[in-house]
């Protein structure tokens, strides 16, 4: 019998009523990210994007009930209007990665988690967005991430409904 923890990739797909250019901008424009980053009940008081290969963005989400949390997106590969490949980490307010356990997260919360965001045109006015979060330990944190990302994408959809 193996003691290895089973890892799974979390794949979330959402179709937006917006062209690829608009959905791409929602991931690459600070003002847009600030409107959708964080699950329901959270705001994003800080979004500092350094959107380039090798760049590191610092994001903050905050909630009166759940406190303030920082994270970074370190861009590994960018294919304009097609794909963003990044490493996600929890961080301090200066953007220094922190051990998730040290900030109260369970031991199965990943560090240096690879995430790939792909953009695919569906017809002329829709975009299929797929977010893949790699190597989750199956369990509560994976399910919370799924719920949180779906809530973020629902918030993002509202950006396009307003335009």
- In this prediction, residue 1 carries a pLDDT of 42
The tally of domains found in the chain comes to 1
Distance CA 130, CA 157 (A): 14
The DSSP secondary-structure symbol of 96 reads: -
- In this prediction, residue 74 carries a pLDDT of 98
Which CATH number belongs to the domain containing residue 112 in this structure?
3.30.530.20
Q: Is residue 1 part of a domain?
A: no
Q: Is residue 43 part of a domain?
A: yes
CA distances from 4 to 1, 9, 101, 137 (A): 9, 16, 20, 10
Q: Is residue 2 part of a domain?
A: no
Strands (DSSP E) contained in 17-154 are 43-48, 56-63, 67-79, 83-91, 113-122, 126-137
CA distances from 158 to 17, 21, 109, 162, 163 (A): 10, 16, 29, 6, 9
- In this prediction, residue 163 carries a pLDDT of 63
Q: What is the pLDDT along the chain (163 residues), one digit of tens a residue?
A: 444 567 899 999 999 999 999 999 999 999 999 999 999 999 999 999 999 999 999 999 999 998 999 999 999 999 999 999 999 999 999 999 999 988 888 888 899 999 999 999 998 899 999 999 999 998 889 999 999 999 999 999 999 987 6
Structural domain that includes position 77: 7-162
């Amino acid at each position: 019998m193996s003691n290895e923890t089973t890892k799974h990739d979390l794949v979330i797909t959402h179709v937006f009523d917006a062209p690829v250019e608009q959905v791409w901008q929602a991931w690459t424009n600070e003002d847009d990210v600030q409107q959708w980053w964080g699950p329901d009940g959270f705001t994003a008081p800080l979004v500092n994007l350094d959107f380039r290969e090798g760049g590191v963005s610092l994001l903050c989400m905050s909630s009166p009930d759940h406190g303030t949390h920082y994270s970074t997106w370190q861009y590994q590969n960018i294919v304009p209007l097609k794909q963003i490949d990044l490493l996600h980490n929890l961080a301090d307010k200066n953007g220094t990665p922190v051990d998730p356990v040290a900030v109260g997260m369970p031991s199965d919360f990943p560090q240096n988690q690879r995430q790939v965001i792909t953009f695919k045109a569906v017809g002329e006015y829709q975009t299929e967005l797929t977010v893949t979060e790699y190597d989750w330990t199956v369990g509560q944190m994976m399910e919370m991430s799924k719920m949180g990302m779906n809530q973020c994408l629902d918030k993002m959809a509202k950006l396009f409904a307003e335009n």
